[in-house]
Amino acid sequence: MRVTTENIFSRLQEKGYKSRIVSVRHLGDLKEGIERPHKKGLLDIELFEDYLSGFDFSPPETLKEAISLLVVAIPEPQFQINFAWNEKVFPLMVPPVYLHGRKIIKSLKNRLEEILSRAGYRVVGAKLPVKFLAVRSGLAHYGRNNITYVQGMGSFHRLAAFFSDFPCDEDSWQEVQMLAACEDCSSCRLICPTDAITSERFLLHAERCITYFNEKPGDHPFPDWVDPSWHDCLVGCLRCQRVCPENKKLSQWIEKGPAFIHEETVSFLQKTPMDQLPSATVQKIEQFDLINFLDIFPRNLGVFLNEGKNSK
């Protein structure tokens, strides 16, 4: 059975996904593009080690004959998680890409395998800088906030990359492009409380981004200069995405997450181990893929609860 690039794209489009394909010849370009800002001293060393040093720019051992890279964009909403605390409910937002990651990527991989395996091709997950890959493939554009934007999805999407032995006859590799709408817009820059988005350069000062700090392990306190009122999400940040004109039709796309009662909130703040939590709590955590949040709950959640207490 013959499979074409158009077949792959259209089958993924049936699920609302968008995709591009490029040659593995560009792996060196990807690596150089990620390392260049660091070599020029434009990236904080600790940030580089935290986020950008763990990529693998070689085909995996299980698919050394890989000749192409598939990059896919999956539309995703925001989620609202409610925490009851002292007779008050705190509705906290979680931006796209934080929840259900393993489930979504597994489902996408299964679909790709279904499409390609009938023609004898394989896919293997790739540990690559997917934002940079998506922009270089033409699937996405960078916004001034350094978040990727995909047509029809805005910044409300998840990106995933795969190695494949499928022939790359339509390599879409191109130069990095900024979203045209950003040229005369400063909405994200003006709303950012930490000045992570500035006018003197397009590259984000990621070492000042709220997201950088609230994604760190739970034993890392927030810097003293970070005002508690600047936080607007349980993890990550939505300030620049909410005001972005490109997200106007998507900013209210919010799905309901779990609701935790007061006793469950107390357990999170007390760092109660997973195996000591009530089964109903464990079920919620597993259903919404929150297990990786348990470590940061005490610090991140504590910011909002303390602010709520101080505002009374």
pLDDT digits (tens, 9 = 90+) for 48-80: 777 777 889 999 999 999 999 999 999 999 999
pLDDT band at 204 (very low <50, low <70, confident <90, very high): confident
Considering the entire predicted model, what is its pTM? 0.91
pLDDT at position 199, please? 86
pLDDT at residue 149 is higher than 60: yes
Q: Which residues of 223-253 are buried (b: 16+ CB within 10 A; e: fewer)?
A: eeebeeeebbbbbbbbbbbbbbebbeebbee
Tokens of 262: 């007061």
**Domain span including residue 146:** 5-310
- pLDDT category at 36 given cuts 50, 70, 90 is confident
Q: What average pLDDT does this structure show over 227-255?
A: 95
Residue 310 binned pLDDT confidence (cut-offs 50, 70, 90): very low
Q: What is each CA distance from 25 to 11, 60, 68, 142, 244, in whole angstroms? A: 25, 15, 8, 23, 35
pLDDT at 307: 61
Angle between helices 101-117 and 5-13 (to 10 degrees): 140
Structure confidence at residue 14 (pLDDT): 95
Please tell me the total count of domains within the chain: 1
State whether the Cα torsion 64-29-201-207 is positive or negative.
Answer: positive
* Beta bridge partners of residue 123, listed in sequence order: 164
CB 160 within 8 A of CB 124: no
The answer, yes or no, to whether residue 169 has pLDDT greater than 60, is yes
Mean pLDDT of 272-281: 95
